[in-house]
Amino acid sequence: MSIFDASGHEQVVFCHDPESGLRAIIAVYSTALGPALGGTRFYPYASEEEALTDVLHLSEGMAYKNAIAGLDHGGGKAVIWGDPGVDKTEALLRAYGRFVESLGGRYVTACDVGTYVEDMDHVARETRHVSGRSPESGGAGDSSILTAFGVFQAMRAAAQHRWGAVDLAGRTVGVAGLGKVGRHLIPHLLEAGADVVACDVDPAAIGRTAANHPQVRLVADADELIASGIHIYAPCAMGGVLNESTLKTLDAEIVCGAANNQLAEPEVAVELERAGVLYCPDYVVNSGGVIQVADEYDGAFDFKRAERRTLGIFATTARILERAKGEGTTPVAAANAIAEERIAAVGRLQRLR
């Protein structure tokens, strides 16, 4: 997408507050299903153009994620251009909150890369249109527990599709990234009887896993992990990990993980299909997080209700994989089609209300 092509978006707002140094862009891709929901990324972009490209891309992705998760939310996202370690202050976050408030609820913000629950607590002092706050401030807190639960449900659906049973006992799952999501995913896998191989670049994450789950086999890096005879690959760290190079060494029959934007290029989805690898679209697999965030925003947060909704990721994944098989297309194409159909059908009803 060209940086000047925001024609698919409903609204793009440039925010500047000289006093606090805030420079942010809020992009509302669509409100067809409801208020646009998506996190705020705080990142030291090289240029404003790079920040704009990112926010346009991310907000469009949120429209698909929210639609397929069955939420009454459209897609939006925001970026704050700066170094969170240096530039993040209460004044800046509150100035940002006032910009969110100025949109009158068309955009609802939450955490993303570089922003945390305590940041949303500051934002919440200026706007109601925020989620992902700390439990101390009445929020739901960290969303990674339900994200990991959703990844596990998607994995079970993929196992049923590929092997005819949801059972993961005796399967080897490779988890790359033992951060907030990866660490919560491992107990689900072990409880299901899977063998787990894992890696992380952070020695502290490795040490924590070795102490808590000595049965997990730890390997040096993701390259070793994907070539170590795994049945399922669960990328739970950075994006772009599925590329031409990994395709050559990937052992797994299923890829199902939490990381956002796993495909280095959209064409990799087709390459995976050709190679006989069942790729579960990342934005479906990791939607437990946004389901939690929506539950917090839409009413008093209820963990059990959000958990029940996250359980729905099993059926959604199964439906996507079946449709892809039936239509001879990739799971990504099938997921996109289902999301677009819901936006077109339900969005029309929403406008009549």
Q: Please say whether the beta carbons of 69 and 342 come within 8 A.
A: no
Q: According to the binding rule CB under 6 A, does residue 144 interact with ligand NAD?
A: yes
Number of residues that bind ligand NAD (CB under 6 A): 25
State which of residues 10, 54, 126, 200 lies at the interface with ligand NAD (CB under 6 A): 200
Binding mask 11-50 for ligand NAD (x = CB under 6 A): ----------------------------------------
Select the residue whose beta carbon is closest to ligand NAD and give its number. 179
Q: How far is the CB of 345 from ligand NAD (least distance, A)?
A: 26
DSSP annotation of 263 reads B
Q: Is the dihedral of CA 191, 196, 201, 207 positive or negative?
A: positive
Residue 260: half-sphere exposure toward Cβ, Cα within 13 Å: 16
Q: According to the binding rule CB under 6 A, does residue 263 interact with ligand NAD?
A: no
Q: Which residues pair with 234 in a beta bridge?
A: 175
Q: How far is the CB of 184 from ligand NAD (least distance, A)?
A: 8
State which of residues 132, 177, 281, 331 lies at the interface with ligand NAD (CB under 6 A): 177
State which of residues 175, 181, 232, 291 lies at the interface with ligand NAD (CB under 6 A): 181
Q: According to the binding rule CB under 6 A, does residue 238 interact with ligand NAD?
A: yes
Q: According to the binding rule CB under 6 A, does residue 216 interact with ligand NAD?
A: no
Q: According to the binding rule CB under 6 A, does residue 289 interact with ligand NAD?
A: yes
What string of DSSP letters covers 45-105? Answer: -SSHHHHHHHHHHHHHHHHHHHHHTT-S-EEEEEEEES-HHHH--HHHHHHHHHHHHHTTT
Q: According to the binding rule CB under 6 A, does residue 260 interact with ligand NAD?
A: yes
Q: According to the binding rule CB under 6 A, does residue 178 interact with ligand NAD?
A: yes
Q: According to the binding rule CB under 6 A, does residue 198 interact with ligand NAD?
A: no
What string of DSSP letters covers 94-149? Answer: HHHHHHHHHTTTSEEB-B-TT--HHHHHHHTTT-SSB----GGGTS----HHHHHH
Instruction: Judge whether 248 counts as a catalytic residue.
Output: no
CA distances for 324 relative to 214, 273, 287, 320, angstroms = 38, 10, 19, 6
Q: According to the binding rule CB under 6 A, does residue 237 interact with ligand NAD?
A: yes
Q: According to the binding rule CB under 6 A, does residue 222 interact with ligand NAD?
A: yes
Q: According to the binding rule CB under 6 A, does residue 258 interact with ligand NAD?
A: yes
Q: According to the binding rule CB under 6 A, does residue 151 interact with ligand NAD?
A: no
Q: Quote the CA–CA distance of 350 and 34 in Å, as a whole number.
A: 8
Structural tokens at position 312: 């729905």
State which of residues 5, 136, 191, 202 lies at the interface with ligand NAD (CB under 6 A): 202
The one catalytic residue among 77, 88, 248, 304: 77
DSSP annotation of 230 reads -
Q: Quote the CA–CA distance of 149 and 331 in Å, as a whole number.
A: 21
Binding site for ligand NAD (CB under 6 A): 143-144, 147, 176-182, 199-202, 205, 222, 236-239, 258-260, 286, 289
Residues serving a catalytic function are 77
